[in-house]
Structure 1
Amino acid sequence: MTPQPQLLSVEELNGFGVGPLSIALAAGERLAIMGASGAGKSLLLRLLADLDPGEGKVLLAGEARDTFAATEWRRRVMLVPAQAGWWATAVEDHFEASMMDTAEAMAARLLLPPDIMKREVRVLSTGERQRLALIRAWARRPEVLLLDEPTSGLDPVATAAVEALLVECSGEGIGIVMVTHDAMQARRMADRTFTMDKGRLSAA
């Protein structure tokens, strides 16, 4: 029987401050990446999302990244940065109409206020923005989620809610690469953990 390709395969990836490195992510797998500030963790996520220039081979389910339009790749391999962008005044304007039922259900699960979609972005706390950015990404059903410190601004109860959602995401086959400074979170969440130092990865 022919082996199935990994969901995301990276071979000899090089970019500014990162690499060369190789890594593979299976469908439904959760990887944690730890390391000191400035080690290149966020840069790696940007390279995987094709937001920064780099060299090397990156494949999604066996298909080379250069066969995808950039927008299509970023829809399927989606980055949720530590500080997500917001381009409209109201929260609801960042969600397509077809996503609203799902987004509101996820907002309740992540302990956000019932009227959160009607609020203006400017009045939201850091933690509220973090959770909404995750919901916005999840609602678009990517195949890979790249998460940069997704719970750094949250209290323990909200953190637990986010972690439960991510476990559910991976159970549906979504691959997750998560940068975290929290060693306990890595132990709770990750199937495998890597440490990044000076742009290079090693198994933790």
Structure 2
Amino acid sequence: MQLFPMTAKGIESRRRGQVLVGPIDLTLDGTGACVVVGPNGAGKTTLLRLLHGTARLSAGQINWACPTDEARHHQGFVFQRPVMLRRTVLQNLIYPLRLRGVPLAQARDRARDWAARVGLADMLDRAAPVLSGGEQQKLALARALISEPKVLFLDEPCAALDGRATREIEEILTHAKSTGTRLILSTHDMGQARRLADQVLFLLGGRIHESGPAETFFNRPETPQARAFLRGDIVE
């Protein structure tokens, strides 16, 4: 089943008459990590939600290489603040598999395997809401990846984490990318963007101001605004 290419044509998001994002034209293929960067308020989160389908389009259209419902079945989304079910770590991991009809015994085995992969093997019976921020984010990632999505959206996945937790999360994402999961993520951390990105979208004022291969964007940005942003200057 083929999801990509994904094309967005003239997409916009408006609220109370104000344009938050758009108009945007965008085509994405199915490999590597696309990192969305830009100043606060540029529209990074809204763009991810539009592409994933959790925010309503005010204009334009998004087309996948397969029917939209089928495409969304093969996607995952990890929020900046992890959403934890009020259940144990094991039950959080089993839940998405059971929704897809995986038998309980098989779901338990896969849940234990993924808990071990992300360093939560000793916490299976712990209530998810009492985990630390880094542990919750690892659980959220494992819960998203356990269903083997073809594309995973992530909104600032390491925004509130310390260096060790960030490194652990990046290792999980790098492995997911290497096994064929398409990553589309936003981050304010330019170090993280450099480490993970194959492609960069630079948003400014709700529109894509510059895009291209990561190596080109970080080493030879085309516009004064992109150069200023990479220097850490305030860009409006």
Q: Normalization by structure 1: what TM-score?
A: 0.83
Count of residue correspondences: 194
Q: CA RMSD in A?
A: 2.2
Q: Point out which structure has higher relative CO (alpha carbons under 8 A, 6+ apart).
A: 1
* Distance apart, 1:197 and its partner CA: 1.5
Q: Distance in 1 between matches of 2:127 and 2:73?
A: 25
Residue among 84, 88, 91 paired with 2:89: 91
Equivalent runs, 1:16-165 vs 2, <5 Å:
16=14, 17-54=20-57, 55-60=59-64, 62-65=65-68, 68=69, 72-96=70-94, 97=104, 98-112=106-120, 114-165=121-172
Gaps of 5+ in 2: 15-19, 95-103, 212-216, 218-236
Q: Distance in 2 between matches of 1:26 and 1:39?
A: 23
Moved more, 97-106 or 150-159: 97-106
Seen in structure 2, the aligned counterparts of structure 1 residues 102 and 155 have a Cα distance that, compared at 3 Å, is farther
Q: Which has the larger radius of gyration?
A: 2
Q: Any idea what SS the aligned residue of 1:151 has?
A: coil
- Whether contact under 8 Å (2:3, 2:71) holds in the other structure is no
- Whether contact under 8 Å (2:35, 2:186) holds in the other structure is yes
- Whether contact under 8 Å (1:91, 1:116) holds in the other structure is yes
Q: Distance in 1 between matches of 2:83 and 2:119?
A: 21
Q: Any idea what SS the aligned residue of 1:13 has?
A: strand
Identity %: 33
Gaps of 5+ in 1: none
Q: Normalization by structure 2: what TM-score?
A: 0.73
